[in-house]
């Protein structure tokens, strides 16, 4: 079957990204927006657009009822949830199914199995994917936690099973610290995620965050599209991503890729997904979590493989087999992405919402900008602070670095503070240039 019309249940740059893919495929687009997003680019670009609620996300972009109403009343064939919001909401996926509207993503079952972090770990263990040493499921009580921690060794990390995106995480250095934090962690989890379940893991040092992109169809085919190194993070939020990973050997790449494919097949996955791993300096890798959606940093994978992931997601949701096999995909060149946020790096990344005045994104060979911004656009304080994703491609890592620095220095955004100067500093840091930075890099190094 071919989709005639897709509703994009998201906003900002990813909504623009999805609309672009639909346009190229000849599919009609329906945008939804909150009152605050009335003048957004995704609203202007779509064929139809409907206001679905007031500013607050819970009343608009998370408003299942209003979104489904628009989808059914405008006769959409499918909904693309983007990332965040309802993208990993198994309930929403089920409601789409019962309204006969295709959810462009995996099945509700795959979403639940991977969404519950401790269930996901168990599933991976059974699929022979290496996992981080830790508790076998959720912690019952403090004594349970202490016993497990004695077994795996300190320091340990306490994680909320319903958490994600770097939230709901605490470190315990020793037994006293663990005893103190376990109850607090459970209460926090209940408050923030509606689920008090927490589990323990060994806290590993010197790790890189290396994730594998996979894509699977509904005919049992799953292919990995290599890795992305996302170790440069501030408070667990990614700032810069690159593909491929500068320290991965071809042999390790193959092993990680195959592990990711096994994981996808273990949950009958379909659509695009990402397996996040921690990679140690000793070459051991451990499963962290699976994101059952398209990721923010998907463009770097697109740049090195030449595959349009959004179009492929749509095609898979239509029931078609993948348009390529594992042997057809190859790494070509190097790609880096910088997330440009409306934050002031000189004031501890204080959010800097406001109206964009002069706005000139960079251009030239090897430069791609994914953004919802335009001159006069109001970056509102109500949603995430991302203005644009600046992505570059180079034949080698050195060339990609040179192009990124050139592009960053051309990128003119006036009226608000941005993280562009910070990215330039990052790209000039010897450890970043060398490539062996780990996830604690920004915590341990002052860039000023």
Task: Determine the Cα–Cα distance for residues 108 and 30; give it in Å rounded to an integer.
Answer: 23
187 binds another protein (CB under 8 A): no
Tokens of 428: 């000039």
Question: Judged by CB under 8 A, which stretch of 59-67, 121-129, 424-432, 436-444 contacts another protein?
Answer: 59-67
x/- contact string, 369-388, with another protein (CB under 8 A)?
Answer: -----xxx------------
Question: Judged by CB under 8 A, which stretch of 46-54, 119-127, 154-162, 169-177 contacts another protein?
Answer: 46-54
91 binds another protein (CB under 8 A): no
Which of 31, 210, 317, 400 binds another protein (CB under 8 A)? It is: 31
CB 357 → another protein: shortest distance, Å?
5
| Nearer CB in complex with another protein: 34/352 | 34
CB 413 → another protein: shortest distance, Å?
12
Which of 43, 138, 145, 288 binds another protein (CB under 8 A)? It is: 43
CB 213, CB 224: distance < 8 Å: yes
Q: Which of 228, 253, 293, 339 is catalytic?
A: 293
CB 52 → another protein: shortest distance, Å?
5
Helix axes of 309-317 and 298-305: crossing angle, nearest 10 degrees: 100
Neighbours of 443 (CB within 10 A): 11
Which of 12, 53, 84, 372 binds another protein (CB under 8 A)? It is: 53
Which of 68, 129, 290, 413 binds another protein (CB under 8 A)? It is: 68
Which of 2, 128, 187, 358 binds another protein (CB under 8 A)? It is: 358
What DSSP character marks residue 100?
T
Q: Is 47 exposed, middle or buried (0-12, 13-18, 19+ CB in 10 A)?
A: middle
Question: Judged by CB under 8 A, which stretch of 45-53, 203-211, 247-255, 267-275 contacts another protein?
Answer: 45-53
- DSSP string across 196-263: --EEEEE--SS-EEEEEEEEE-TTS-EEEEEEEEEEEEETTEEEEEEES-TT--HHHHHHHHHHHHHH
Q: Of 132, 246, 236, 145, nearest to 186 (Cα)?
A: 145
| Nearer CB in complex with another protein: 47/190 | 47
354 binds another protein (CB under 8 A): no
Question: Judged by CB under 8 A, which stretch of 52-60, 80-88, 125-133, 384-392 contacts another protein?
Answer: 52-60
Specify which residues 6 forms β-bridges with.
Answer: 29, 78
Task: Determine the Cα–Cα distance for residues 157 and 65; give it in Å rounded to an integer.
Answer: 38
Task: Determine the Cα–Cα distance for residues 319 and 334; give it in Å rounded to an integer.
Answer: 32
Task: Determine the Cα–Cα distance for residues 267 and 259; give it in Å rounded to an integer.
Answer: 13
Which of 1, 73, 147, 205 binds another protein (CB under 8 A)? It is: 73
122 binds another protein (CB under 8 A): no
| Nearer CB in complex with another protein: 40/292 | 40
CB 67 → another protein: shortest distance, Å?
8
Task: Determine the Cα–Cα distance for residues 249 and 285; give it in Å rounded to an integer.
Answer: 13
CA angle at 126 for the pair 123 and 128, rounded to the nearest 5°: 115
Tell me, yes or no, if 235 is annotated catalytic.
Answer: no
- DSSP string across 380-395: -TTS--EEEEEEEEES
Specify which residues 242 forms β-bridges with.
Answer: 229, 336
| Cis peptide bond prior to 380, omega within 30° of 0 | no
74 binds another protein (CB under 8 A): yes
- The residues that touch another protein, with contacts defined as CB under 8 A, are 31, 35, 38, 41, 43-54, 60, 65-70, 72-74, 99, 355, 357-360, 374-376
Catalogue the active-site residues.
293
């Amino acid at each position: 079957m071919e989709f005639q019309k897709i509703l994009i249940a998201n906003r900002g740059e990813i909504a623009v990204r999805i609309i672009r893919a639909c346009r190229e495929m000849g599919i009609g687009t329906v945008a939804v927006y909150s009152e605050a997003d009335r003048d957004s680019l995704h609203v202007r670009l779509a064929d139809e657009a409907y206001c679905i609620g007031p500013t607050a996300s819970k009343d608009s972009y998370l408003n299942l009822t209003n979104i489904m109403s628009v989808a059914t009343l405008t006769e959409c064939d499918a909904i693309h949830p983007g990332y965040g919001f309802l993208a990993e909401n198994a309930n929403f996926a089920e409601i789409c199914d019962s309204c006969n509207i295709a959810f462009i993503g995996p099945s509700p079952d795959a979403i639940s199995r991977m969404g519950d972090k401790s269930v996901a770990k168990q599933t991976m263990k059974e699929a022979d994917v290496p996992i981080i040493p830790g508790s076998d499921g959720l912690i019952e009580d403090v004594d349970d936690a202490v016993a497990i921690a004695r077994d795996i060794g300190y320091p340990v990390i306490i994680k909320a099973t319903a958490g994600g995106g770097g939230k709901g995480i605490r470190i315990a250095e020793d037994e006293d610290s663990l005893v103190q934090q376990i109850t607090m962690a459970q209460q926090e989890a209940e408050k923030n995620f509606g689920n008090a379940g927490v589990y323990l893991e060994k806290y590993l040092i010197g790790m890189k965050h290396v994730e594998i992109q996979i894509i699977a169809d509904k005919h049992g085919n799953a292919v990995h599209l290599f890795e992305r190194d996302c170790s440069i993070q501030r408070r667990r939020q990614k700032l810069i991503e690159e593909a491929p990973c500068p320290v991965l050997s071809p042999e390790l790449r193959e092993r990680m890729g195959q592990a990711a494919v096994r994981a996808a097949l273990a949950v009958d996955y379909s659509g695009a997904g990402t397996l996040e791993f921690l990679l140690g300096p000793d070459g051991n890798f451990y499963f962290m979590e699976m994101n059952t959606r398209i990721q923010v940093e998907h463009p770097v994978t697109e740049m090195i493989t030449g595959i349009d992931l959004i179009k492929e997601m749509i095609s898979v949701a239509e029931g078609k087999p993948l348009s390529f096999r594992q042997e057809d995909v190859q790494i070509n060149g190097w790609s880096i992405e910088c997330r440009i946020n409306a934050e002031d790096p000189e004031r501890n990344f204080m959010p800097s919402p406001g109206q964009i005045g002069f706005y000139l994104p960079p251009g030239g060979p090897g430069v791609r900008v994914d953004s919802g911004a335009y001159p006069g656009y109001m970056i509102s304080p109500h949603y995430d602070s991302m203005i644009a994703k600046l992505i570059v491609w180079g034949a080698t890592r050195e060339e990609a670095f040179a192009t990124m620095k050139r592009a960053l220095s051309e990128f003119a955004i006036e009226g608000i503070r941005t993280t562009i100067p910070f990215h330039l500093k990052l790209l000039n840091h010897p450890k970043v240039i060398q490539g062996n930075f780990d996830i604690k890099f920004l915590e341990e190094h002052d860039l000023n």
